[in-house]
Amino acid sequence: MPDAFSLDLTQRPRRLRRTASLRAMVEETVLRPADFIAPLFVVEGKAPPDEIKSMPGVFRLNLTDLVKECRALHKVGVPAVALFPKLDPKLKDDEGTQALNEDTLVLRAVRAVKKAVPELTVITDVALDPYTSHGHDGVLNAARDDVANDATVGILGKMAVLQARAGVDLVAPSDMMDGRIGAVRRALDAAGYTGTGILAYAAKYNSAYYGPFRDAVGSAQAAGTRLLSKATYQMNPANRREAIAEILLDDAEGADILMVKPAGLYLDIIREVRNATRKPVAAYQISGEYAQIQAAARLGWLDLARCRHESLLAIKRAGADLILTYFAKEMATLLK
């Protein structure tokens, strides 16, 4: 029966929330398996999958297990993976020379994955932090108090060419050096890899939420050396307009996809970027975002399934076309 007291309302938004089918009909943002890119960590040797303590459910994988995981991701509809190597510390040096080794771990991983699952899009990180003993994203200047921009960019171009030669579909410069997108594009084109795309970490902030990732790849801070500050090249979290300046530069220099990192704490930036470019926009739900959801869920404070879905829905609603997330496999399995 109608309520005894009735308001004289013409507009009642709740009418379209009354049933599940009505809610589905007017749903504005929908997540699909094809929205997700799965970040994966690869290690040398034949050891079984090694769970990263600060990232429950995420593992460092040897090459054999990496291929198995890529097959599983492809089967549930995840279209792409982003590969990150964890090197033996003995292979690291101040110059990150292992990055230019034609048989370095990540290049072998690319070749193995593309051979086993050729339909899967493979993305590789173009930055020196997995390879340097000091953990910075580039080589240091003479005073060793900052990263040398132009010298680093020269190395990144060579890295990108090696990765393209190994068969990657997209190279992803994540270093935030000035001019590196244009330099990488020129290097790829000069080497004949005009079809290799660039996913640019165009607005990457100097976030406090990267800790679990640094644990995963064994970079300097996680290894217990001096505290790293990347404030001279990663963006100030206080800045919004600067993100648009960075995005437009990378767009003009030849980036094919423009990414904001982190995602959940920077939804306003994702929206600004979406409004500023016609190119695809990606966002990276980073390790700290993943870890805090997992931790709160394990303590019984949050519902994991609902928070996982809501966090990713918010990122897409803000304007991201693609989302790098450690929840990719779980979400794709549920959505499929």
10-residue averages of pLDDT along the chain (336 residues)? 82 96 96 98 96 95 98 98 96 96 97 98 97 93 92 98 98 97 98 98 96 81 58 97 98 98 98 98 97 97 98 98 98 95
Q: What is residue 229's predicted lDDT score, i.e. its pLDDT?
A: 84
Return the pLDDT at 223. 43
* pLDDT at res. 106: 98
Which of 176, 149, 182 lies closest to 233, judged by CA?
Answer: 176
pLDDT of residue 3: 65
Task: Please name which of 86, 47, 45 lies closest in space to residue 223, comparing C-alpha atoms.
Answer: 86
Enter the pTM of the model.
Answer: 0.94
Q: Distance between CA atoms of 126 and 82, rounded to whole angstroms?
A: 11
pLDDT at position 4? 81
Per-residue model confidence (pLDDT) at position 8: 94
- Is 158 considered catalytic here? no
Active site residue 90: no
pLDDT at 227: 57
Q: How confident is the model at residue 158, as a pLDDT?
A: 98
- The confidence score (pLDDT) of residue 2 equals 61
Per-residue pLDDT at 311: 98
> What pLDDT does residue 271 have?
98
Of the candidates 86, 92, 261, 329, the residue annotated as catalytic is 261
pLDDT given at position 121: 98
Domains annotated on the chain, with CATH? 28-335 (3.20.20.70)
Catalytic residue among 86, 92, 114, 204: 204
The confidence score (pLDDT) of residue 145 equals 87
Burial profile 182-210: b = 16 or more Cβ within 10 angstroms, e = fewer: bbbbebbeebebeebbbbbbbbbbebebb
